[in-house]
A = this chain, B = another copy of it.
Amino acid sequence: MPKLGMEPIRRAALVKAAIAEIGETGTLDVTVSQIAKRAGMSSALAHHYFGGKEQIFLAAMRHTLAVYSAEVRGALGMATSPLARVEAVVKSSFSHMNFRQDVVAAWLNFYVLAQTSEEAKRLLNVYQLRLRRTLGHALRPLVGDRAPAVAARIAALIDGIYLEQSLGYQPASSEGAFDLIMDYVALEVDRGCSA
């Protein structure tokens, strides 16, 4: 059976299966066997390609982060105004690709993983910083010096909405989440008439 160049295919399958499995179980408490089985191979092969469970998780995390980043970059590329840039970032955060039940569950568990894995913590920090930086730049023309504070608030809102979504009661729609945040942004942009 062995076909050549299987490594990248197997790795991708395992990463995808890991996210699906974490999403379905809601926990990092999934066995390598479960992941491997879902990916259509033996657990031994999973160990062969990744070395260990944690490294599968980290790869899944990098993948999730990469998908998100790519979507943000793509959306930013089409934005022509500062406000559109903010909208691009926010909209990407709640796109069908990223706001799915299993992906949200994976995010939640990555935060837990970051409690014990330095590498996971590093990855999450890269994400956090980049999000703030991107939002901050986009906001500068709109709110001036308040940009960092507004960016921090938007980031916290995104994380908070993800957390609520993870509970899965009445799944907040992507549009609802988007509006919730952009209404706040509008408020910040419109300020300046009272002070």
**A114 CB within 8 Å of chain B:** yes
Question: Chain A's interface: helix, strand, loop or mixed, by majority?
Answer: helix
Contact flag A194-B184 (CB < 8 Å), given A153-B157, A163-B111: no
Interface string of A123-165 (1 = CB under 8 A from B): 0110010000000000000000000010011011111110110
Q: How many copies of this chain?
A: 2
A160 to B166, CA, bound (A): 13
Q: Which of B159, B180, B187 contacts A163 (CB 8 A)?
A: B159
Q: A167 contacts B114, CB within 8 Å?
A: yes
> Do residues A111 and B25 form an inter-chain contact, with CB atoms below 8 A?
no
Q: With A159-B163, A160-B155, A160-B156 in contact, is A111–B114 under 8 Å at CB?
A: no
Q: How far is the CA of A108 from the CA of B108 in the complex (A)?
A: 8
In the complex, the answer to whether A115 meets B26 with C-beta atoms within 8 Å is: yes
Task: Let me know if A86 is at the binding interface, CB within 8 A.
Answer: no
Q: Determine which of B27, B160, B187 lies in contact with A116 in the assembled complex, contact meaning CB atoms within 8 Å.
A: B27
